[in-house]
Amino acid sequence: MYALQRAADAGVKTAVVWRKTCPGSAVFDEALLRVLQQNNIDVVVLAGFLSILGPSVIAAYSGRILNVHPSLIPSFCGKGFYGLKVHEAVLAAGVKVTGATVHLVNEVPDGGKIVAQRAVRVHRGDDAATLQRRVMEQAEWKLLPRAVEQLCATLAREDKTHKRKGV
């Protein structure tokens, strides 16, 4: 997998929890949570993660999980709207503008607080694949790094404030 190779090339530690090897979503969530906590992970970033996290992971990382969704939420989002399905729905609806949204994850699929959005024009002649590529290049890949940086900066400020107050 390309992401794992890129991480290895950059000297970044990785861990993989395969959903398909877990006998159910609760077991997957337990395994994922264990890996996150054992590695002292502070922020979880979902990019291309085409699954819904369970309540135990969401509760443990409340306000610390970011997801990038390939539409302008609240349009074309929620359960069943992922990957090319989003872009197919956008084209079927005939909208002129779509985009991407970075949001905090909560118990409602694509229902968390919106952190950032960027619009992308739909072109005549687009198919789902070309539209997906444009949304990734013009919106997702630009929004997500900034949103992660902002969340980390906010958490660092909060941590300093808590330490000063003795919390």
Q: Could you confirm whether 69 is annotated as catalytic?
A: yes
Q: Which two tokens stand for residue 18?
A: 């395969």
Contacts with 87 (C-beta within 8 Å, 6 or more apart), sequence order: 70, 98, 128, 129, 131, 132, 135
**Candidates 69, 87, 103, 162; catalytic one:** 69
DSSP state of 9: H
d(CA 149, CA 143): 10
Sign of CA dihedral 53, 91, 127, 88: positive
Contacts with 82 (C-beta within 8 Å, 6 or more apart), sequence order: 50
Q: What is the CA radius of gyration of the chain?
A: 17
d(CA 136, CA 94): 19
Would you name the residues annotated as active-site residues?
69
